[in-house]
Structure 1
Amino acid sequence: MAILPIVICGEPVLHTDAAPVTEFDDALRALVDDMFETCEAAPGVGLAAPQVGIGKRIFVWMYEDQDEAPHRGVAINPELWIAPLEPGLPGEEELEGCLSFPGERFALRRSPRALLRAQDIDGKPFEFEASGWFARIMQHEFDHLNGLLYVDRLVHPENRGAQKAERKNGWGKPGLSWTPGIDDLEG
């Protein structure tokens, strides 16, 4: 197992739809193991394959504060349905961060409920419903597979803060990454 470098906002793989996984083999198992190790070292609660430079529809999560799914899991070729957000109702707006936009946190409104359907490491289908912060994690990681970072969803004035952070840190261009345990960053 190895800790993988995490790519930063501006790397093309983060802004592109990820491709479906078609081979459920030892290479996939090794990638997922490395993703878990990287997520733990970061530390994070989730990590999508595009965040480590791999344009495949895979994400892992490590989140114990829920009873809806295993505390540690992998979603391959996931589909996600979320409860609609109704205008004017109190939202699930909380500070969110991202390992590909490290060290920054901005408030984002997310749906309080989600239904995930995916395949496991052996290609077997599974599904579960998630709520609260766990639903937020599912939405965040799923967005990565569709070429979106959480900062792409921010509205004024939060989006201005993210744009300022991106400029200040020199992000938004290809070739930038950080490695948990080596570089002094966190997201």
Structure 2
Amino acid sequence: MKSPDGGSVEAYAACSCGRRYPLSLAARTKLLAHLSNDENLARALSTIEAAAFDQQLLRDLWPADRISKLAMPGVVPVGTPVLHRPVEPVRLITRGLVKLGLHMTSVMHQAQGIGLAANQVGAPVRMCTHKLGAVAPTTLINPEILKSAGVWEYTEGCLSLSVDGAAAPVVRPKTLLIRALTLDGRAFIANADELFARVLQHEVDHLNGIEYVQRLTGLERTRVYLVMNEHDIDHSWMPPAPYG
């Protein structure tokens, strides 16, 4: 099957175990309708702009061995400004960006996490990694949630808020339609469900400056914010942002 720009498209359904299933022609056609010819980013390996971008990434990056009492090693803790404001879209795919993806993946695995956003390692760019590589490419650039539906409750924690008692059940949409790019410049689009959808929503929230605790409501919100008080966490950075 061909994409709008004439390139080939790999289309399949997958479960978190890694098993893949063929999509019907109708399903593939519906997904392709959300691709556009302007999705590709320039690959810039030696330009002045690319060099400046890579230098900025290097300056912002938290060392993998940096320790905080509130977060896992190499991960920015809550209360750090880069974690609480929207980040900028990626405009160039550079060597530095590829290295950032590798760094994020390494930090995520060392922390035994299932997902990680770029601003969680200090880089204010729209990129995230996840551990469900059997389902989809593990590094996604400029992820964008196009649609969401349903309701699903699932307990979440965060590598940037690694304190006892902070994990809590969060109610989010169950399914979503997401569009992104891969590190080799390919367009990616998926109908995501349950765990994969949950990981993507958690990481996209990070890229929008939202911590999962801001999605909590009722007694769970009260409990978790009391836990943060016990750890002297300034949660003025995290105003409520529940789903409507």
Whichever of the two has the greater Rg, that structure is 2
Opposite residue 78 of structure 1, the aligned amino acid is: P
Contact preservation (8 Å) 2:149, 2:174? no
- Other structure's SS at 1:148 match: coil
Partners of 1:74 and 1:172 lie apart in 2 by 31
TM superposition score normalised by structure 1: 0.81
Identity %: 34
After superposition, residues 139-154 of structure 1 pair within 5 angstroms as 139-154=201-216
The alignment status of 1:98 with 2:158, answered yes or no, reads yes
- Other structure's SS at 1:34 match: helix
1:78 matched to which residue of 2?
143
Unpaired segments ≥5 residues, structure 1: 86-90, 174-187
1:122 offset after TM fit, Å?
2.3
2:77 matched to which residue of 1?
8
Question: Larger deviation: 164-173 or 52-61?
Answer: 164-173
- Other structure's SS at 1:56 match: coil
**Which protein has the bigger strand share?**
1
1:156 offset after TM fit, Å?
1.0
Q: Which of 108, 111, 117 is residue 39 of structure 1 equivalent to?
A: 108
TM superposition score normalised by structure 2: 0.63
The alignment status of 1:131 with 2:196, answered yes or no, reads no
- Other structure's SS at 1:139 match: helix
Opposite residue 197 of structure 2, the aligned amino acid is: A
Contact preservation (8 Å) 1:3, 1:35? no
Which has the higher relative contact order, 1 or 2, with Cα contacts under 8 A spaced 6 or more apart? Answer: 1
Which runs of at least 4 in structure 1 moved beyond 6 Å after TM superposition? none
Opposite residue 12 of structure 1, the aligned amino acid is: P
- Other structure's SS at 1:17 match: coil
Partners of 1:93 and 1:142 lie apart in 2 by 17
